[in-house]
Amino acid sequence: MVVVPGYLEAAACEALRNDMEQLREAGLFRQAGVGRTSTHRRDMDVRLTESCWLFPPPPPSLGDRAARRELYAIVSDLTQQLSTPLRPLNRWEPELAYLHYPEGGYYKRHFDVPPALQL
């Protein structure tokens, strides 16, 4: 994990926070689990959080679509900046989600492995 203070402008952060709150109030958040589709399960030893996936996007009538479009553009630009010929990142569709951690919520340290690299 990397934290870059000031990477997003305060106004963009506020717009995304408002979008997340609107989507949560609309009931789009679900208890998050671990594992891929075939192995997906809830595991309270690993995480206690709720998630709202941004791919596919939430219904257009909900939340702040402009804030999400800006986020998608930022992530796309960052993906291109980090990509190299030996490690092209654009092979995988980004996984973006809003996460809500209730009081006492957590997500323990882990490593994600893209399906193409799983044995």
Confidence of residue 82 (pLDDT cuts 50, 70, 90): confident
The pLDDT of residue 115: 60
Residue 104 phi, psi dihedral angles, 5° rounding: 85, 0
Of residues 116 and 4, which shows the higher confidence score?
4
Is 2 in a helix, a strand, or coil? coil
Q: In what order do the strands lie in the sheet with 97-100?
A: 30-31, 50-53, 97-100
The pLDDT of residue 85: 85
The pLDDT of residue 38: 63
Query: pLDDT of 20-73, one tens digit each?
Result: 999 999 999 999 877 766 666 776 777 889 999 998 889 999 999 999 999 999
Element (H, E) at 67: helix 65-82
Confidence of residue 87 (pLDDT cuts 50, 70, 90): confident
Work out the angle between the directed axes of helices 65-82 and 10-25 (0-180°, nearest 10): 120
- Return d(Cα 18, Cα 10) in angstroms, integer: 12
